[in-house]
Chains A and B, each alone.
Chain A
Amino acid sequence: MDQGKFLHIAFNFRGPTKVQELEPIFNQGVDWVRYAPNCWIVWTTSNAETWYSRLKPSLGPNDTMLIIRVDRSERHGWLPKWIWEWLDRVR
């Protein structure tokens, strides 16, 4: 099992968003934040392949998903302050 890291997981749902359906899966991670209806950042000890295996069964045939590691050292954006604080929290 890897050390903790941030993964950005983004979806494009072709039908209704599956937020409620996906939340129990994201709860398998150490911590997560959702900053848009289709965008999660997960603090996890699992790798991208594991997250793919967890999430893929919940997706429809036309839904799409990207799982990619996040490097916090280079960042900028426009988000509520509590999300910036969530990103900076020591874990």
Chain B
Amino acid sequence: MELQEFLKHFQPTAESLERIRLGKGIVGKTSYVAITALIVLGVAVTRISTDWMRLAVGLIAVALFLFYFISTQRFADKNPGVALLEGAELIRWKQVELAAKNLPSPPATPAVVDPTKPLPSILPGKEESDR
């Protein structure tokens, strides 16, 4: 089977594109960019005549996908709210996370150690175990 004929099987129809619904947030937005980049590389493969260049573009596409996939997984693991939500949903998620009576929207301040206590020393492997 010719490569172009093979790729025809993967051409998205309008109906299938309508069914694709990416999430919101940074991961959702960057997914559009990653998909566009992969489509551009796919089109480029069909226009290239030499085999070694096709292989090179294919390797770039695989590398791009792996970089995108690993990066978004790491980002989503560290920032689950920002990764998947945006706008009012993100604000609501933050409200669910932190709140107090008569304070539905607390200040978005970074976490700190207890300000009334001296800074504890954190030395991995040096602390004594409980007896």
Interface residues of B in 85-131 (CB under 8 A from A): 96-101, 106-107, 109-117, 120
**Cβ of B113: which chain A residues have Cβ within 8 Å of it?**
76-78
Of the residues A23, A26, A75, A82, contact of B114 by C-beta under 8 Å: A75
Q: Does A60 contact B (CB under 8 A)?
A: no
For B, the interface residue count at a CB cutoff of 8 angstroms equals 18
Kindly specify which of A1-9, A34-42, A63-71 makes contact with the partner chain: A34-42
- The binding surface of chain B is classed by DSSP as loop
How far in angstroms is the closest Cβ of chain A from B95?
8
Q: Does A52 contact B (CB under 8 A)?
A: no
Judging by beta carbons under 8 Å apart, are A32 and B101 in contact?
yes
How far in angstroms is the closest Cβ of chain A from B111?
5
Indicate whether A29 sits within 8 Å of B97 (C-beta atoms), given known contacts A78-B113, A79-B111, A81-B115: no
Q: Which residues of A contact B (CB under 8 A)?
A: 17, 19-20, 23, 26-27, 29, 31-37, 75-84, 86, 88
- Can you identify 6 A-B contacts, CB atoms within 8 angstroms? A33-B99, A78-B113, A80-B112, A81-B112, A84-B114, A84-B116
